[in-house]
Each structure stands twice: as C-alpha cells, then as structure tokens.
Structure 1
Amino acid sequence: MAAHPPMAVLGAGSWGTALALVLAGNGIAVRLWGHDPAHVEALRRDGCNARYLPDAAFPDNLTPTDSLAGALAGVRDVLICVPSHAFAALIEELAPELDAGARIAWATKGLEARSGGLLHQVVQSRLPGRATAVLSGPSFAREVAAGLPTAVTIASGDRAFAADLAAAFHGGAFRPYTSTDIVGVELGGAVKNVLAVATGIADGMGLGANTRAGLITRGLAEVVRLGQALGADSRTFMGLSGVGDLILTCTDDQSRNRRLGLALGGGQELSAAVSAIGQTVESIRTAAEVHALAAEHNVEMPICEQVHAVVNQGRPAAAALESLMARAPKDEF
C-alpha cells in the first residue's frame, strides 16, 4: 500500500494542533502552519503546543512551520483550522500557492465575517473548481489530543474526497462519518456556539436543569428552521454535527462559548469575561451573523436573537430571559 502523501494543517491553535496530532498518529507526514513565527518557534522548541495542549508531544512526522509556501509545497490535501474571522483572508493567501490538484477542507466553525455567509461559499468564490470538504462534530481539542474516543462528520460534495479524508483521520479513537450535506454540517457547527452562550447564561443565573434542557431543545428547532431555509438536509441536525455538537458545547465547561455565558449570567462584564477566557470566543461575532442570516431568510430564531442582543447590544441577561418567557404559547411543531 502506497504511503499517504503529506498533508498541511493551517492554524496552530488548539484545534489545528489536535487534528494534526490525529493525522500524524495515523502515520501521515503533517506540516502544521502557524502565522506567528514566535509561536511556531515555541512549538519547535517545546516539541508540543505548550500554550494550548502541553501534554500532547509532537511525533517526528509533525513539522511546525511559519512558511505558508513551505507548508503547501507538494501537498494534495489542505485542512484549514483558523478562526472564522481569519478564514477568508487565508483563502486569498492560499490561491497562488496551491498545487493545481490540491483539495481544501476546513474544520473552522462559524460564518464568514464580512458577508455572514457559509464558509464553503468563500472557498467556491475564491478557489473555484476545487474539491472541498468540512469536518465538524462534538470534539474538544484537549480530548482529541489526549486520544479520547471522538466521532465527527466529514461532509463533501465529492464522495472520493470525503472517503480519503475519513481514511486519513480514521484510527485509534478517532472515528469519522461521511456526509454530502456541507450546508447542514457548517450551520450546525456555527449556530451551536450561539446557543451555548444561552445555556451558559441560564446556568450562570442558577436557573436549573429544566431551563438548560429547554434551551437546547428549542435551540435545535431554530437551527433546523434556518437549515431548511438554506437547503440543508434536516437529518444532519439529528447527527454528530447537529445535536451532538450542540449538547457538547451547551453542557461542558470546556466550551469557551458556554463559559462566556456563565460569566455573563453571573453578572460579569463582556470584556472582562472574554479577557479571562483568553482565546477567540466565536459566538460574539457569530451571534450577529446568525441574526442577520435569519432576518435575510425570514426565519424566527428567538433564542439566538436574544443572545445577539446580550453580547452585541448590551441587553441585560435577565431582560433577555424575560423576553423569551413572555412569548405567546404555540404548537411545538
């Protein structure tokens, strides 16, 4: 059996590092690119990502680099793991560096910062004609790096690419499933961060398990409605990248977005909460983007709307809750 070609993982934060470790653990030569030379030098010096995943040592076949051209040279498959606000700019940088047959995948969760659209639309507009895929699902980076059992979804309109990526990642405790619903997988990965803020706020206010379960369930209904408006397969939201990721992010304190909600529900100011978390909190930007997307498609998303009001418009958390509970009764389905 021929050796798997080298792969490039772009983004040397916790998530990119964890996925690079999975690939390297499966015997694939991985080039882990980071935009910050000082951070990349620290990765080389320490033999691990001491900032985010200090207990996960790099194997010999994982090479950190701050050279984008060097990371991409001769590579067939590229996996992007940068935050959503940096996604479009990186895609533009990639264009002149990619080999003709290179395929693009991303594990970034969120919407495109400038347009508020889905990430595959950014790739299609700037790198037309290439095979594309998205990886998403219930997966905290620290647990992936530690080799704990994890299942994710890889969605692509190109079944061969999805199968190749699944084969590259499948091994040990990491199990990918394949799908063709890129829209649904992307949407689930984006909106769950907004809903995690809602459940965090409720728990920060001490509102109990009933409230948390209600927010998760009605939040899932909001994702499904938006997905239907955008042409997604509703079954996707019952899977790993939908309800699976939603439950994980809304209920475990490893989630930065849930921790933001906990802080806000406990009365902390937004800026102080973000500073204490110390990493990108995708939900602040995504809440505004989901709000705009829902308005564009005339989709009712009251929980997401109230999260947007709290994190972007300064509305008190208690007032947001009161608005939700004051809504008129209606049929569940």
Structure 2
Amino acid sequence: MADADVPASVAPLAADKKVDGVPFLAEAPPCRYIKQKLIGKGAYGEAWMVKRAEDGQVFVAKIMDLTSTPEKRRKYAFAEVRCLKNCNHPNVIQYMEDSGVEGSEIVIIMELADACDLGTQLRNGNVTFSEREAGILFTQLILALHHIHSRRVIHRDIKSGNIFLTTCGLLKIGDFGFSQQYDQTVSDSVAGTFLGTPYYLSPEMWRSKRYGKKTDVWAAGVVLYETLAHKRPFQGSSLSDLKRNVLEGHIEPIPDVGREMMELIFSTMNPDPDKRPSTTQILAMPLMQHYTTMFHNIVIRDAKIAPDVKQRIVAAIAKAQDDVKNNNNFVDDADDPR
C-alpha cells in the first residue's frame, strides 16, 4: 500500500490526543503509554520501549515525525498501519493500536519481541545456528510470509534486521514501513517502486521490472543463506557491483550444509520469479514438511510458550497445511493498486 491515500479527515496530534482524558504517549503519567527507553532512531522517527499505564505491560512505540518527512514516506506510515491491522499471525509482530495522525506525528503501538533482531545476532557473531535451527526459523518466516501474502500484502523489505526473535524461540516479522496492500484482481506482478534493502533485492527489482510476492520469497532465501553462512550470498563494493553479482546469479554452496537445504536456498533465489516457488509450494516441499512438523512438536512441548500462543501457532500451521493441500498459492490475485 505504498500509495495509500491520506485520509481526508485526521485525528488530533499524536502527543496531544486524549484517550480517556489523558495524552496517548508521554514521559510520565498521566498518559496511556509511558516512554521507558529509546531503542532505535532513524531519519524520520524513533522506536521506544513503552509501558502501558493501566497494567504495566511493555510494548514498542514507533513514532514517526511527519513534519520533516517527505510525502511518500508519510504514505508509508499510513501503509504500515493498514498492513499491520490486516495481519494477525503468531509469527508477525502484533499491532495493538495507533494514535491517529495529524501534521506532527503518528505513534504505532506494537508487540515487543524480547530477544532483538536476527541481523543483530548474526552481526555480533555470538550466535551460530545449526542447520536444524535455521530450518525451524525459516519455517516460521515462511509461515508468516504465507499469511501476509494471503492477506494481499507484499512486505517488500524482508531482511534479517526486520526479523525479530523472542526468548522462547519464536520468530516474528516486523517493520511494514515499505509494505504494499492491493486489491484482489487478476495479475501477479503488482508493484514498480524500487524499495527495500539492496542486499535483499530480487533480480526483478534490480531490473526495475514489475514484481509481486515472489520478491519476498527471494529475500527470505537471502535470509536463510545468511543465517547458515553468516554472510549474504551477494556482495559488492558499490551498488553497481552488487547489482551485477545479483544478476549474474552465482551462489556459492555453504560448507557442511545438506543437499536438500541448499536446493531449498537455490529454489527461493531462482532469478526467474515465474520459476521461484510460492510460500505454498515451499511449505509443500518434503524438507519443509519435516521442519513444520518439528516446529509444531517443539511448540506443543515448550513450557515457555504461553497456552494461548500455542493455540495460535497450531491453528496457523493447520491453516497453512490446508492451503498446501488445496494448492492455494495466493500469487494470481493482485494488480497494481495505482
């Protein structure tokens, strides 16, 4: 929904909006959410750990300053709210609420994943994932993408830094700032805007061609490779070098990684999006069926995972397996929303 319409009528300023007579977000009560700790800062906003005043529960508040934000980036803020609202899956960061917007800022309250992001863990070098562990993480990533795609959303910025982990071993996709939601029509290639992080861009994006959900599948394959190899499959000293390496398409096998796993990686990074598998086709692969069953069994046995979360995960797996059985690919249901 990169080109979502800005509402004609808007809510009061985020910092001043009253909920039950108190500000939405502030440094100290009385307010609905209390700032605790700055956890991230970018060109157009900040991310804060916040505490809900009524019960002390901790969340993340993403605050975007709209006064210094280009118009297109403002639209991404509206896109993020809409796409987060439209997704409800245990492997997707959960939307809680937002402040409403007007001129100054928008505040989005989201679930907190308590073990940082995958990219940080890989960069720090203090975590090494076995093939089994990487397979279980990738299964969760594909289950999440499968749900996102079923909701007619393309994420467009899948990368290790946007994949968040929890202390009970769950993976959650976050940061829908570049996401795009589209109306259900007939064409698969839905977007033409060059977005995302360069190391994870698919060949069709580098060629400035129209692209669909398969661009998320490519990026997921890059993340899987990165998780196992502790390096990205394509490097470059400049954007032009990186582009050339991606388009040449040579992927070095990862030492000590099994044949089936490498075949999975190669399939997700097929340079032809028409030959790249959908999330349904990935989940149908024997290796992924094995990891899906393994993930299901781990969730059932893990005492650290809350019962209600277990129920949501089991239901999400069952829904995905039904889609595999019925060959629901969600790849022929989109057109350019513009």
TM-score w.r.t. the length of structure 1 is: 0.31
Bigger RCO of structures 1 and 2 (CA < 8 A, at least 6 apart): 2
TM-score w.r.t. the length of structure 2 is: 0.31
